[in-house]
Amino acid sequence: MPQTEGEKLQSLATVGTLSYVLHLIVAVGALVPGAQISPVLLIVALVIDLAKREDAAGTWHESHFRWRIRTVLIVALLYALTLPLWFLLIAPGWLAWLAISIWFLWRIVRGMMCMNKGLSMEIEQ
């Protein structure tokens, strides 16, 4: 039985909320010393977004899938690029981690707020 448009949007909202919550757990954990949450949660969220983004094509939810996927890829790249700072000098490594983690948290909170208002992320990108 095919989904109605309303059912499809509700399903996408549920998937989006789950993904944003997983991202949020990881982002908050990254800011608490010693509480780094397993990157497995982030990978699970990324896989969900990659698997479901085609379902969102043509809806306002599509921009949220793109927003979350880009956020994870950018954060992963930034963490990888700043990893040598941890081996050279701990303080710059910690500052880089903190800055990236704050930016990550901001992206996730901003995306959640827009999704909860039914807004696309097009204006944010």
In order along its 125 residues, the chain shows pLDDT tens digits of 567 888 888 999 999 999 999 999 999 888 886 666 778 888 999 999 999 999 999 999 999 999 999 999 999 999 899 888 878 777 788 888 899 999 999 999 999 999 999 999 976 54
Chain mean position to CA 70: 8
pTM over 0.85, yes/no:
yes
90-116 and 5-31 helices cross at what angle (nearest 10)? 160
What 102-108 contacts at long range (C-beta under 8 Å, 24+ apart), as own/partner pairs, is 102/31, 103/75, 104/23, 104/27, 104/30, 104/71, 104/75, 105/24, 105/27, 105/28, 105/30, 105/31, 107/67, 107/71, 108/20, 108/23, 108/24, 108/27, 108/68, 108/71
pLDDT of res. 47: 96
Per-domain boundaries in the chain: 5-124
- Tell me the C-alpha to C-alpha distance, in Å, between residue 77 and each of 80, 104, 116, 121: 5, 12, 28, 22
